């Protein structure tokens, strides 16, 4: 005979019956038998000293053994995330042994995951009838009620009861914190989340809940740090934790987007200052152009000394719509390409610069190595000439990837260290690029026609880039996950570890040795050659750089920068009366009566109405243009800034609506 001994006070909590003796014993027994009817008709109830003794015949040994095995199988299914099958198995367990409290509770958890909340409630009531002091059942019941807008008060009671029974239970702490946050008690919610984290630092739900609460209260920076800590310290015990990590990763990107939008202007200014630094170091001006680039290239730096020019040209692609912060991505891409110039400048100054190139001989070697793949692809029905062109493109792309991967990692590490204001934009931009790379790399049709040696090298390099991105984000981007399953995963990890070991001690020019080391690891060292830098030194600091005061083509190339200067002017003028705007505009016009040098980023102009500030030539033009648009919107300023002004005005109006 199996007997459950349950204090009447606990049963009163569940059924609403008073425990003060005002109900007769016969009535109590009848009600208890009714409440425990799910155990079968053979239940007997006696009451002694305020305790109900509920007895039922024990399950047959065979049934008990089968119930135990089914219970273990159901738990395994639940841990794997197959909640429908788990629920079926738990129900079979309870058919064999209805007096098993944990089976009722675990069935309720699976029903909750399936969205069957009313069934989950009934099942939990049965669990608590059998085990009124089971803290976990109260936690699950709290979760059930927390799903309904009008159930928060009851959910809070159930979580509080669970904590009375088990004060350090992280699920109860997390559930109570979530309810408190939804009720608007942010301070108390954060305190409870912190209690749960302190009790079990590898518990992901509390980290995510805390970050979500911080994000909703506008504390994006601390939300990001919390999410990074989560991905460093939390552990997914089974498949049920996967949605928590997935949602946390989405929250990370959403919050980084918020920070990026808030810091767009500061990031742009920082990149402009960085450009001036690169111009001083390399002794050449830098022209920045937005244009369409071939082959999915995001940015390109053409160094003055390589192309026989009097300036460097940085080209970044126009971001395809829609993007959360397209102008911000441009700032990151410009910063990246400027650092390419910086690396070459540093290598040149110590006489170690060299040029990566392919030749007819290296191309022939690559094509010979790929001959079996060429035949295989031709046998799939592709024309030989088309296959040859396609594989030639693959070879060129792979060589570019070999060169750029170790350098790009070095560049992004330097940007992270030297331009922290760019960090949210950097993360978002790299995530976008990683998404594009993953889409191509994991496309079954592309993989089918890609030669195996190229597929191996490209997968390994892109996988190493994904490992770097996860390192930069504290793991929150989860970029490495799809590459972990590839046969090249071990090679990607080897490339990443090699870069980590080498990069702290790299000196100017060593990055080219690192390219060779990557090529050796993937087995493609003979697919390219190095050419020596011709040795032409950049001009000295005393030599003039190109200036411009009436160059329409150059001014158009400056339009991306003009957007931000015009936006700053609009914000400045929004705080001023028309008379003050008129004074500034007139002073700018007087200061520039002999022409404004908008080619140089140097801040060499002053405005009497704005004491203590200095401006570049382009900034002066933007102040004047925005002033005229405020005071005489119909007049033509003759400065060819209408297009960037409209963009700046749209941004300004958008920010004004948000505030």
Summarised one tens digit per residue, pLDDT across range 377-394 is: 778 777 777 777 777 888
Residues 359-387 as b/e (b if ≥16 CB within 10 A, e otherwise) read eeebbebbbebbeebbeebeeeeeeeeeb
Residue bearing the bigger pLDDT, 560 or 201: 201
How confident is the model at residue 118, as a pLDDT?
80
How confident is the model at residue 3, as a pLDDT?
67
Give the whole-angstrom CA distance, residue 192 versus residue 188.
Answer: 6
Q: Which region among 16-20, 306-310, 346-350, 550-554 has the lowest average model confidence (pLDDT)?
A: 16-20
Whether the predicted pLDDT of 19 surpasses 80: no
| The 3-state secondary structure of 327-354, one letter per residue | HHHHHHHHHHHHHHHHHHHHHHHCCCCE
Q: pLDDT above 70 covers what percent of the chain?
A: 89
How confident is the model at residue 384, as a pLDDT?
73
Whether the predicted pLDDT of 596 surpasses 50: yes
Coil/strand/helix, residue 181? helix
Give the whole-angstrom CA distance, residue 580 versus residue 584.
Answer: 6
Summarised one tens digit per residue, pLDDT across range 414-470 is: 999 999 999 999 999 999 999 989 988 888 888 888 889 999 999 999 999 999 999
Cα angle value 252/257/258 (rounded, 5°)? 100
Whether the predicted pLDDT of 17 surpasses 70: no
Summarised one tens digit per residue, pLDDT across range 89-114 is: 988 887 777 777 788 878 888 887 88
Summarised one tens digit per residue, pLDDT across range 338-379 is: 999 999 999 999 999 999 998 888 888 888 888 888 888 778
Paired residues of 328 in beta bridges: none
How confident is the model at residue 293, as a pLDDT?
80
- Phi/psi of residue 292, each to 5°? -75, 135
pTM of the prediction? 0.72
Question: In which region does residue 126 sit, left (phi positive, over 0), alpha (psi from -120 to 50) or beta (all else)?
Answer: alpha
Q: Which domains does the chain have, with CATH numbers?
A: 2-56 (no CATH), 59-132 (1.25.40.10), 347-532 (no CATH), 552-658 (no CATH)
Q: Which residues make Cβ contacts (< 8 Å) with residue 57, sequence separation at least 6?
A: 1, 2, 42
Give the whole-angstrom CA distance, residue 292 versus residue 302.
Answer: 15
Paired residues of 312 in beta bridges: 286
How confident is the model at residue 578, as a pLDDT?
92
Summarised one tens digit per residue, pLDDT across range 330-339 is: 899 999 999 9
CA dihedral 383→386→387→389, nearest 10 degrees, is: 160
Give the whole-angstrom CA distance, residue 534 versus residue 522.
Answer: 30
Q: Which region among 221-230, 313-322, 327-336 has the lowest average model confidence (pLDDT)?
A: 313-322
Q: Residue 60: which pLDDT band, with cuts at 50, 70 and 90? A: very low
Question: In which region does residue 475 sit, left (phi positive, over 0), alpha (psi from -120 to 50) or beta (all else)?
Answer: left
Q: pLDDT above 90 covers what percent of the chain?
A: 47
How confident is the model at residue 545, as a pLDDT?
36
Whether the predicted pLDDT of 538 surpasses 60: no
Q: Which residues make Cβ contacts (< 8 Å) with residue 458, sequence separation at least 6?
A: 397, 398, 401, 441, 450
Summarised one tens digit per residue, pLDDT across range 142-195 is: 888 888 778 899 999 989 999 999 999 999 999 999 999 999 999 999 999 999
Summarised one tens digit per residue, pLDDT across range 121-141 is: 778 777 777 777 788 888 888
Half-sphere exposure of 414 (CA within 13 A, CB side): 18
How confident is the model at residue 64, as a pLDDT?
64
pLDDT average, residue stretch 219-239: 91
pLDDT average, residue stretch 265-271: 91
Q: Residue 551: which pLDDT band, with cuts at 50, 70 and 90? A: low
* DSSP type of residue 420: G
Average pLDDT value over all residues in the chain: 85
How confident is the model at residue 329, as a pLDDT?
67
Q: Residue 59: which pLDDT band, with cuts at 50, 70 and 90? A: low
In this structure, the number of other CB atoms found within 10 A of the CB of residue 657 comes to 7
Q: How many residues does the chain have?
A: 659
């Amino acid at each position: 005979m199996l007997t459950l001994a349950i204090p009447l006070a606990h049963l009163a909590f569940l059924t609403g019956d008073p425990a003060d003796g005002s109900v007769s014993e016969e009535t109590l027994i009848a009600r208890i038998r009714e409440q425990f009817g799910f155990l079968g008709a053979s239940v007997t109830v006696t009451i002694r000293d305020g305790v109900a003794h509920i007895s039922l015949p024990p399950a047959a040994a065979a049934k008990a053994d089968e119930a135990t095995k089914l219970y273990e199988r159901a738990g395994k299914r639940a841990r794997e995330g197959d909640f429908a099958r788990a629920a079926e198995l738990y129900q079979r367990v309870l058919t064999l042994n209805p007096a098993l409290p944990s089976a009722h509770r675990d069935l309720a958890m699976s029903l909750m995951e399936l969205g069957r909340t009313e069934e989950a409630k009934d099942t939990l009531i049965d669990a608590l009838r059998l085990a009124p002091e089971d803290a976990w059942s109260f936690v699950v019941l709290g979760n059930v009620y927390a799903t309904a807008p009008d159930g928060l008060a009851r959910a809070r009671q159930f979580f509080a009861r669970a904590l009375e029974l088990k004060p350090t239970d992280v699920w109860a702490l997390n559930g109570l914190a979530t309810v408190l946050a939804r009720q608007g008690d942010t301070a108390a919610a954060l305190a409870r989340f912190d209690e749960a984290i302190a009790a079990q630092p590898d518990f992901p739900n509390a980290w995510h809940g805390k970050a979500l609460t911080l994000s909703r209260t506008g504390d994006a920076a601390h939300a990001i740090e919390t999410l990074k800590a989560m991905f460093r310290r939390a552990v997914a015990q089974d498949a049920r934790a996967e949605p928590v990590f997935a949602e946390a990763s989405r929250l990370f990107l959403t919050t980084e987007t918020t920070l990026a939008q808030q810091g767009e202007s500061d990031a742009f200014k920082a990149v402009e200052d960085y450009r001036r630094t690169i111009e001083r170091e390399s002794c050449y001006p830098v022209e920045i152009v937005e244009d369409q680039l071939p082959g999915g290239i995001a940015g390109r730096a053409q160094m003055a000394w390589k192309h026989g020019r009097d300036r460097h040209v940085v080209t970044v692609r126009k971001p395809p719509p829609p993007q959360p912060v397209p102008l911000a991505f441009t700032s990151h891409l410009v910063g990246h390409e400027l650092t390419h110039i910086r690396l070459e400048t540093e290598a040149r100054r110590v006489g170690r610069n060299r040029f990566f190139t392919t030749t007819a001989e290296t191309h022939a070697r690559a094509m010979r190595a790929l001959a079996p793949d060429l035949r295989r692809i031709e046998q799939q029905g592709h024309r030989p000439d088309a296959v040859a062109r396609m594989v030639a493109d693959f070879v060129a792309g792979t060589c570019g990837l070999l060169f750029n991967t170790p350098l790009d990692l070095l560049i992004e590490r330097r940007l992270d260290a030297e331009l922290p204001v760019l960090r949210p934009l950097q993360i978002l931009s790299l995530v976008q690029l990683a998404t594009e790379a993953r889409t191509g790399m994991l496309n079954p049709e592309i993989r089918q026609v890609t030669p195996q040696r190229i597929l191996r090298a490209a997968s390994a390099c892109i996988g190493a880039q994904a490992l770097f991105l996860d390192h930069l984000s504290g793991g929150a981007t989860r970029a490495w996950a799809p590459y972990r399953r590839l046969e090249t995963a071990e090679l990607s990890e080897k490339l990443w570890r090699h870069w980590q070991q080498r990069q702290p001690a790299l000196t100017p020019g060593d990055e080219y040795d690192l390219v060779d080391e990557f090529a050796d690891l993937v087995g493609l060292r003979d697919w390219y050659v190095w050419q020596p830098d011709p040795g032409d030194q950049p001009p000295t600091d005393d030599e003039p750089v190109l200036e411009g005061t009436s160059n329409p083509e150059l001014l158009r190339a400056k339009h991306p920068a003009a957007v931000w200067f015009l936006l700053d002017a609009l914000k400045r003028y929004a705080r001023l009366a028309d008379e003050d705007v008129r004074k500034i505009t007139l002073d700018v016009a007087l200061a520039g009566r002999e022409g404004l040098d908008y080619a140089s980023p140097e801040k060499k102009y002053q405005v009497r109405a704005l004491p203590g500030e200095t401006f570049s030539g382009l900034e002066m033009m933007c102040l004047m243009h925005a002033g005229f648009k405020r005071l005489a919107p119909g007049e033509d300023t003759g400065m060819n800034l209408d297009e960037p002004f409209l963009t700046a005005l749209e941004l300004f109006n958008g920010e004004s609506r948000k505030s």
